[in-house]
Amino acid sequence: MTIHNDYSKSYIKRKSHTTLKITTSRCLTDLGHSPIDDPSGTNSNYIDVSGNMQSSPSGSPSICLQDFELLKVIGRGSYAKVFLAEYRPRYLRNNSNNQQQQQPPRLYAMKVIKKSIVNDDEDIDWIQCEKNVFEKATNHPFLVGLHSCFQTPSRLFFVIEFVTGGDLMYHMQRQRKLPESSARFYAAEITIALHFLHEHGVIYRDLKLDNVLLDADGHIKLTDYGMCKEGLDFKRDERTSTFCGTPNYLAPEMLRNHDYNFSVDWWALGVLMFEMMAGRSPFEIVGSAENPDLNTEDRLFQVILEQPIRIPRSLTVKAKNVLEGFLNKDPRCRLGCRYDPILGCQAGFQDICLHPFFYPAIDWQRLESRQIIPPYKPILTEDKDLSHFDPQFTNEAVVLTPEDDEVLARIQQSEFEGFEYVNPLIMTVEGNV
């Protein structure tokens, strides 16, 4: 597999990191008003609240693209766009009591994937896995949840929780590095999110600054489940082998083509914590500007596999120790990766919680219930404030380009049966069921 990427000396300076697996999509992408796929502006197929396709009767509380106003582009990846969208259901717009005007805006991020790039069974499985993880993540305090899924002839739509504070990459570009106390807080919330996924048999596989969002209160939310692997038994030492993720965060066992388990997520957390506290990647390629031939993925992977991690002397002993624990090249000895044969399950989460870097500074129960005040609260002037999002996205035109008729004709629509979904809890809150 050929991987294209441009590595700068300081990884913090880059807005996004290319993901290796060809079927990957970035979670942040563009948003917009119409035009939509159907030139007439109508679509005979709608989604009822049970998640089934149905013919749309007048006044039905179904969900389709016409129920959303696309406001801004907030992200873009190789295979997806993400829009800021306001949910404005048709039946409320036409309601004589004008209920819509009496409610605050209901804002979501809308991830849009072209069906034309979903080429084979593996791609279909990837889409289904991402949907499944979104469903599992709903209502978790540190994971982005799912509102609904629907489709048009040319596209798949994930309507997900809109997190207003921007991503850690955006904030790191402005702050360069974080105090250890701030890095500890974010790493602890990420740890709880990863442990939840692991308990539910999911390896995240794409932890990076871009995928850690801050909500309006300053708490983190992990997003983008396109790289996830599901179906592993947390109580057994089950493994998988797919080579995927983001180059700078890949664990040594994956680079060696060894089977792996949840260990790769704890390695990635170590890389991310290093970036937060040191303001740079732990894997710098010295002299790459003078020797561009060295500035390759192969060279980066060689550095990850062979070179020792140089931890800044400015960090405390506890910070140095936790980074050495997460960035141990041997997954059997890595912090968070202990398997207890007596208990018959993964036991590394307890090791993390009790590590001197986290304990007793972190009260894990209070943290999980969001009772600890975050170190930073984004300044937001309104619900639609996008000041914490990169202008390279928000300045883009808000549009969904129609697909070519020949491209549409080649799409096997039957492959996408059952994609539709509506979260019953969210819809109940919104008064739609």
Report pLDDT digits (tens) over 181-239: 999 999 999 999 999 999 999 999 999 999 999 999 999 999 999 999 999 988 888 89
User: Which CATH number is 279's domain given?
Assistant: 1.10.510.10
Spatial distance between the Cα atoms of 274 and 276, rounded to a whole number of angstroms: 5
Q: Is the pLDDT of residue 240 over 90?
A: yes
pLDDT, residue 25, reads 29
Distance of CA 124 to the CA centre of its chain: 18
Residue at 117 is within a domain: yes
Print burial letters for 319-353: b (CB count within 10 Å at least 16), e (below 16): bbebbebbbbbebeebbbbebeeeeeebebbeebb
Mean pLDDT within 377-402: 92
Percent of the chain residues topping a pLDDT of 90? 64
222 and 317 part of one domain: yes
Tell me how many domains the chain contains. Answer: 2
Q: What is the mean pLDDT of residues 173-184?
A: 95
Residues 154 and 233 in one domain: no
160 and 90 both lie in a single domain: yes
Report which of residues 276 and 299 the model is more confident about: 276
Statement to judge: residues 249 and 178 lie in one domain: yes
Is 107 strand, coil or helix?
A: strand
Residues 353 and 208 placed together within one structural domain of the fold: yes
Mean pLDDT of 2-19: 34
Q: Where are the alpha helices (DSSP H) in 146-222?
A: 168-175, 180-199
Whether residues 97 and 116 fall in one domain: yes
pLDDT mean over 253-275: 98
At 168 the pLDDT is 95
342 confidence band (pLDDT: 50, 70, 90) = confident
In this structure, the answer to whether residues 238 and 359 fall within a common structural domain is yes
Tell me, yes or no, whether 22 lies in a domain: no
Q: Are residues 245 and 362 in the same domain?
A: yes
pLDDT value of position 369 = 97
Q: What is the pLDDT of residue 6?
A: 27
pLDDT at 293: 65
pLDDT-derived band at 424 (thresholds 50, 70, 90) equals: confident
pTM > 0.75: yes or no: yes
Give domain status of residue 26, yes or no.
Answer: no
Residue 285's pLDDT band (boundaries 50, 70, 90)?
A: confident
Structural domain range at position 250: 171-368
How far apart CA 77 and CA 60 sit, in angstroms, is 34
**pLDDT digit string, tens, across residues 18-75:** 444 533 323 322 222 222 333 333 333 333 333 333 333 333 347 899 999 999 999 9
Q: Flag whether 379 is in a domain.
A: no
Tell me the two tokens of residue 123.
């791609």
Question: Which stretch, 56-70, 130-144, 336-350, has highest mean pLDDT?
Answer: 130-144
pLDDT score of 403: 85
What CATH number should be reported for the domain holding residue 392? 3.30.200.20
Asked whether residue 218 falls in the same domain as residue 345, the answer is yes
Structure tokens at 348: 């590394």
- The span from the CA of 74 to the CA of 100, in Å, is 25
Token pair recorded at residue 164: 């207003």
In a domain, 375, yes or no: no
Average pLDDT, rounded, for the chain: 82
Question: How confident is the model over 90-110, as a mean pLDDT?
Answer: 70
Same domain as 41, residue 97: yes
**341 and 202, same domain (yes or no):** yes
Instruction: Please check whether residues 88 and 216 belong to one and the same domain.
Output: no
Catalytic residue set: 206
